[in-house]
């Protein structure tokens, strides 16, 4: 029924080619159905050479550099593209200048030196708006084989990489493997550590930012966006259930220095949030799609470009974060 193709060229078979991803369809109704489920919008990553939309940055990378990459795009990208952010530049000098600032340096590890034994850092932190917070947990092992994840250390940093909260946590069950090679933790670090409930309450206080639980479940309010590596795993260990629309960016799996991971993911989050594209701040997933308000025959009479214009994203783009915050402060 459909097949992926190169960018539009003049051909009889391209009457029903998707304006965004260039897939071809034999019948107009098939193109309409494709548009309903693809959610093509300006928020999607797009090839700077052929302008094809991709579902994710990973699929865009495959389009440009993967084993089945499109030859013309791959050649142009190899000469003019940044292999980190996948943007194109018009000259080697501008590309060279960009690469100098595009590379994100790794933060210096603070290890366990920032905390005295059984110590903590807890800064009274209050701001307006939905600023992001990065979180990371140091996990030790429990159970007979040490495979049960137990939170023993947690760190939170703000967008300026300041530590808001950093403490050792008393695990909820006996530790059978401190995973010292990864965590740097020993029994002595946890001897007089904060209770799991005390830590949980403090983290929620920071994240809620004075917000009610009912308001927290909506798309508005003052609750903070939460970014982190392997977020679900860390939140599960903390027994924290935070709304999915406020979670951003699982960057990897495994454990490292909690402070380093917090700073790394915050830098990556801000870099992604700064990605620019057309239609900034539009196409919220909770708004009704234009397809539902149109009859089937009306949709089939639309051009591929017109179908694209009424298509809306099924996820919250990075650019919407600033729009939400602006709305809160207006």
How confident is the model over 34-58, as pLDDT tens digits?
A: 999 999 988 888 999 999 999 888 8
Tell me the H-state helices in the chain. 28-38, 57-65, 71-80, 92-102, 180-183, 187-190, 196-208, 213-216, 231-238, 258-273, 296-300, 304-309, 319-329
Long-range contacts made by residues 5-13, C-beta under 8 angstroms, separation at least 24?
A: 6/50, 6/70, 7/50, 7/51, 7/52
DSSP single-letter state for residue 13? G
In the prediction, which pLDDT does 178 show? 92
- Tokens standing for residue 329: 């402060």
Tokens 């501008």 correspond to: 94
Query: What is the C-alpha separation between 163 and 140, in angstroms, rounded?
Result: 22
Tens of pLDDT, residue by residue over 278-318, are 655 454 554 456 788 888 889 999 999 999 999 988 877 76
The tens digit of pLDDT for each residue in 145-200 reads 999 999 999 999 988 888 889 999 999 999 999 998 888 888 988 988 999 999 99
Task: Tell me the per-residue pLDDT of 110-133, one tens digit each, with 9 for 90 and over.
Answer: 655 556 555 678 777 655 544 888
Confidence of residue 327 (pLDDT cuts 50, 70, 90): very low
Structure tokens at 264: 């790394």
Burial of 140 (0-12, 13-18, 19+ CB in 10 A): buried
Q: Which domains does the chain have, with CATH numbers?
A: 16-101 (no CATH), 121-274 (3.30.420.10)
Q: Please provide residue 170's backbone torsions phi and psi, each rounded to the nearest 5 degrees.
A: -75, 115
Bridge partners of residue 211, in order along the sequence: none
Strand 247-248 to 225-228 pairing: parallel
CA distance 142 to 173: 7
Mind listing the pLDDT tens digit for each residue in 235-263?
999 999 888 777 775 555 444 678 888 88
Quote the tokens at residue 112.
Answer: 């366990």
């Amino acid at each position: 029924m459909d097949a992926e193709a190169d960018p539009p060229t003049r051909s009889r078979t391209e009457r029903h080619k998707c304006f965004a991803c260039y897939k071809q369809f034999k019948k107009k109704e098939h193109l309409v159905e494709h548009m309903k489920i693809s959610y093509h919008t300006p928020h999607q990553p797009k090839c700077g050479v052929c302008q094809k939309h991709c579902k994710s940055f990973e699929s865009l990378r495959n389009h440009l550099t993967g084993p089945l990459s499109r030859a013309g795009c791959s050649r142009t990208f190899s000469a003019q593209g940044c292999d980190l952010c996948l943007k194109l530049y018009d000259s080697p000098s501008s590309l060279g200048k960009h690469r100098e600032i595009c590379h994100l340096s790794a933060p210096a590890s603070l290890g366990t030196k920032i905390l005295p034994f059984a110590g903590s850092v807890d800064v009274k932190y209050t701001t307006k708006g939905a600023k992001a917070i990065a979180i990371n947990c140091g996990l030790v092992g429990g159970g007979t084989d040490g495979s049960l994840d137990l939170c023993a250390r947690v760190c939170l940093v703000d967008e300026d990489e300041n530590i808001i909260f950093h403490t050792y946590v008393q695990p909820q069950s006996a530790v059978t493997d401190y995973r010292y090679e990864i965590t740097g933790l020993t029994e002595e670090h946890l001897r007089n550590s904060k209770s799991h409930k005390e830590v949980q309450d403090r983290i929620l206080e920071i994240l809620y930012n004075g917000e009610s639980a009912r308001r927290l479940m909506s798309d508005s309010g003052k609750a903070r966006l939460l970014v982190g590596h392997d977020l679900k795993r860390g939140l599960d260990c903390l027994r924290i259930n935070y709304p999915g629309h406020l979670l951003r960016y699982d960057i990897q799996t495994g454990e490292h220095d909690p402070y380093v991971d917090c700073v790394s993911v915050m830098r990556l989050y801000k870099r992604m949030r700064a990605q620019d594209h057309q239609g900034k701040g539009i196409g919220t997933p909770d708004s009704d799609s234009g397809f539902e308000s149109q009859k089937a025959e009306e949709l089939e009479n639309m051009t591929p470009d017109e179908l694209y214009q009424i298509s809306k994203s099924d996820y919250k783009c990075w650019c919407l974060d600033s729009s939400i915050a602006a709305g809160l402060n207006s």
